[in-house]
Amino acid sequence: MTIELLQTHKLLDTCEAGLAERYTVHKLHEASDREALLNEIGPRIRAIAGGNVDGALMGRLPKLEIIANFGVGYDSIDTKAARERNIRVTNTPGVLDDAVAEIAMALMIGLSRQLPQADRFTREGRWEQGNYPFTTELRGKTVGILGLGRIGKEIAARAQAMKMRIVYHGRNRQPTEPHVYYDNLEEMARDSDWLVIVAPGGPETNGIVSRQVLEALGPEGRLVNVARGSLVDEQAMIELLETGGIGGAGLDVFADEPRVPERLRKLDNVVLTPHYASATRTTRDAMGALVLKNLKAHFNGDPLPSAVV
């Protein structure tokens, strides 16, 4: 008898093929009647692949042993409920650091050099009427990194190569890091030209980039978010972007994605991308492979390559 697995959202084709080879897969996201499917197969499910797993869903799966999240961020999984039930949770760290750091840099360069506007200017033939106005460069500016984990460190390395000064904020100072540590986020924002958010989502970080932090960043300051929309007070951010309270924002993530507020979409001092920082074929393949590896290790009784619970 093969192990029955519940898939909660669409995954990469290679990952889905790997799952189908080893497990009997039921696709919750494709079910026309979710309740009926859960009633029928819920009692037999031993594994989940994907995210968006709350306590209520876990409650429908009495034999659930493991949730293999496709992604490094696991804020869509109720880890407390999982811990209480002894359900293992895994994620996909490490393999997406470069891809996400590249998009953080792309958003910074896109904003500072006004790439979308310069592209439109060139396409629309406006160059013939005169040169594009001056933009600003990253060199010599201070970037404040919120969350100097694996991805944060890759961003720091790239920012350093762009001749920027690096400061950071997180739960703890990292003694081996040469960069200046701020234990107060608002103070770091005051000292920064750029605030780059790369800390995990979840209850501990919800709304930590508050109106006060954004005001401390100031009219010349710019925000980049490649983490989760939930970290930012999005209403305050929009107001400050509209009124010049902050200079600009490069955003890959949003509070209620895939919905993006119309007021944000109308602004010219933002660069917006569709939560695609890790979305390269190579990176997503590696994420899928790690999902499969974690599941295999669990059912073989081996240590899990990347357990969070």
CB of 232 to ligand DGY, least distance (A): 15
Tell me, yes or no, if 165 is annotated catalytic.
no
Q: Binding pattern to ligand DGY, positions 96-115, x when CB under 6 A? A: x-------------------
Q: Please pick, among 83, 84, 257, 263, the residue that the annotation labels catalytic.
A: 257
Q: Which residues pair with 67 in a beta bridge?
A: 48, 89
**Residue tagged 């209403």 (tokens):** 235
- Answer yes or no: are the C-beta atoms of 255 and 229 closer than 8 Å: yes
Q: How many angstroms from the chain centroid is the CA of residue 306?
A: 18
Whether 228 is catalytic:
yes
Nearest approach, Cβ of residue 96 and ligand DGY (Å): 6
- Least Å from the CB of residue 212 to ligand DGY: 26
Residue whose CB is less far from ligand DGY, 116 or 202: 202
Nearer to ligand DGY, 48 or 167 (CB): 48
Q: Which of 192, 205, 225, 278 binds ligand DGY (CB under 6 A)?
A: 278
Nearer to ligand DGY by C-beta: 154 or 193?
A: 154
* Active-site hit among 228, 234, 284, 298: 228
Report the Cα–Cα distance between both ends of the chain, in Å, rounded.
27
Question: Site map for ligand DGY, 44-83, x if CB under 6 A?
Answer: ---------------------------xxx----------
Minimum Å gap between C-beta 250 and ligand DGY is 15
Q: Considering the rule CB under 6 A, would residue 305 count as an interface residue with ligand DGY?
A: no
- Distances in Å between the Cα of 130 and the Cα atoms of 125, 133, 228 are 10, 9, 40
Packed helices 281-300 and 13-22: angle between N→C axes, nearest 10 degrees:
20
- Helix-helix angle 97-112:115-123, to 10 degrees: 60
d(CA 306, CA 70): 12
Instruction: Measure the CA–CA gap between 12 and 281, rounded to whole angstroms.
Output: 9
Residue placing its CB nearer to ligand DGY in the complex, 96 or 106: 96
Residue 72 or 271: the one with the smaller Cβ distance to ligand DGY is 72
| Cβ atoms 87, 268 nearer than 8 A | no
Verify whether residue 257 is a known catalytic residue. yes
CB of 9 to ligand DGY, least distance (A): 10
Size of interface with ligand DGY, in residues (CB under 6 A): 5
What SS3 state is found at 256?
Answer: coil
What Cα–Cα distance (Å) separates residue 201 from each residue in 147, 149, 169, 196, 214?
11, 13, 15, 14, 18
Q: Which residues bind ligand DGY (CB under 6 A)?
A: 71-73, 96, 278
- Which sequence positions are flagged as catalytic? 228, 257, 275
